[in-house]
Amino acid sequence: MSRAVQIGESFVGEGVNAAHINTVLGERSGPVGTAWATALGSPSEGHVPFVAVLRPSLPVKPLTLFVTKAAPSGDEHGQLIWGPAQAGVAAGVADAVADGVIAADAVDDLALLAAVWVNPAADDADTIYANNRAATRAALSNGARALPDIADVLGARHQPTNPFYTAPPR
Along the chain (170 residues), what's the average pLDDT of each consecutive run of 10 residues?
84 97 98 97 90 98 96 96 98 98 98 98 98 98 97 95 90
Amino acid identity, residue 53? V
Q: Which residues are known to be catalytic?
A: 20
Distances (CA, A) of 90 to 55, 105, 146: 9, 18, 22
Burial class (CB in 10 A: 0-12, 13-18, 19+), 150: exposed
Domain limits, the chain? 5-166
What sign does the CA torsion over 135, 136, 142, 143 have?
A: positive
CA atoms in the 13 A half-sphere facing the CB of 108: 1
Instruction: Report pLDDT for 46.
Output: 83
Which pLDDT value is given to residue 3?
67
**CATH architecture of the domain formed by 5-166:** 2-Layer Sandwich (3.30)
Give the model's pLDDT for residue 45.
87
